[in-house]
Amino acid sequence: MPVDPYILLLLGTVGLAALVPARGTAAHAVSGAATAAIALLFFLYGARLSTHEALAGLKHWRLHVTVLACTFLVFPLLGLAARGLVPVLLTPGLYTGLLFLTLVPSTIQSSIAFTSLARGNVPAAICAGSFSSLVGIVLTPLLAAALLGNSGGGFSADSLLKIVLQLLVPFLAGQVLRRWIGGFITRHKRVLGLVDRGSILLVVYTAFSEGMVQGIWHQVSPARLGALLVVEAALLAVMLALTWYGGRALGFGREDRFAIQFAGSKKSLASGLPMAGVLFGAHASLAVLPLMLFHQMQLMVCAVIARRRARDPERPEVSPGTAAAPETAVGTATHPG
């Protein structure tokens, strides 16, 4: 079972915020730095995304629509259904975080890696993750405003304007400047990757510092955390089953179903944390806790599934309503880069 080293860094950052939270002037300075870091993060996202590759991926539109439907329709519906677990299993604060989890985009890197390991359609996974992240910049805040209401810290026109200025504008600026800076970013992707991760750590420190100052952690008990893990495990299991068997019912081949399962059942920590910092403000610490736990859980479970799929002998499947026939390869099983 893999443990993402970055999760350990995130937990260490939470511990640092618990022991040495930013207060007063330091809190304002850290908050300003986090705002700038979020803008830089989405600028780099825009500069990395190849518009040409994204447009080329539109040819497989049925697969991408399926992944988007799983990410922004099925997931939120399950999140709304979990409202019945309050207050028996979840507190209102934890439920808000769980519902926000269901609204964020899918991952890119881990979806590609697991699809490649399982010998699935890697190009489809690349495009599906990219489309999900792009759509999520606009759709996640709108869904949050519609479904979370005042529980998200008071959504308003001003909140949506902040989203546009801090997330969408930097992303579009990165897309516009990509033709001039794309080569530089490709050559220095490891260094810029550290900037990515450092920015997210700063956002986490800011959010959890505010939570400590406000005493928000008195609302969470070990029993509630345990209940949250059980609920998230059930959510992940349902989505893994729906994406796999639903893909088969829709007539997708085996390789495409791997891309649908790994891209459609996961949520992006890299996109979700900055968005939560903008959307929830001082309440972000409790709101991102379910996402952090779900992120590690999905990595562990999907790694096991991908490894088992990699050992499966390739065999023909019977699509609904058709005779058995060998499936044709739709993509490549090599990891790009």
pLDDT value of residue 160 = 67
Average pLDDT, the chain: 82
Q: Assess whether pLDDT exceeds 80 at residue 295.
A: yes
Residues whose CB is less than 8 angstroms from the CB of residue 113 and which lie 6 or more positions away in sequence, other chains included: 306, 335
Ordered by where they begin, the domains of the chain are: 5-308 (1.20.1530.20)
- pLDDT category at 234 given cuts 50, 70, 90 is very high
Q: Assess whether pLDDT exceeds 90 at residue 258.
A: yes
CB under 8 A, 24+ apart: contacts of 3-6: 3/296, 3/300, 4/295, 4/296, 4/299, 6/197
pLDDT > 90: percent of the chain: 28
3 state DSSP class of 59: helix
Most confidently modeled range among 2-6, 181-185, 231-235, 308-312: 231-235
Q: Assess whether pLDDT exceeds 50 at residue 93.
A: yes
- pLDDT category at 3 given cuts 50, 70, 90 is low
Q: Which residue has better confidence, 167 or 282?
A: 167
For the segment 2-23, the average pLDDT, to the nearest whole number, is 81
Contact 212, 13 (CB under 8 A): no
Euclidean distance between CA atoms 176 and 184, whole angstroms: 15
pLDDT value of residue 169 = 87
pLDDT value of residue 229 = 94
- pLDDT category at 68 given cuts 50, 70, 90 is very high
Which of 15-19, 38-42, 64-68 is least confident? Answer: 38-42
pLDDT value of residue 274 = 83
pLDDT value of residue 151 = 57
Q: Which residue has better confidence, 286 or 49?
A: 286
Cα angle, residue 196 at apex, residues 191 and 200 outer, rounded to 5°: 145
- pLDDT category at 337 given cuts 50, 70, 90 is very low
pLDDT digits (tens, 9 = 90+) for 124-181: 887 888 888 888 888 998 898 888 865 555 455 666 677 778 778 888 898 889 889 9
Distances (CA, A) of 271 to 152, 184, 197, 235: 17, 23, 11, 20
| pTM exceeds 0.85, yes or no | no
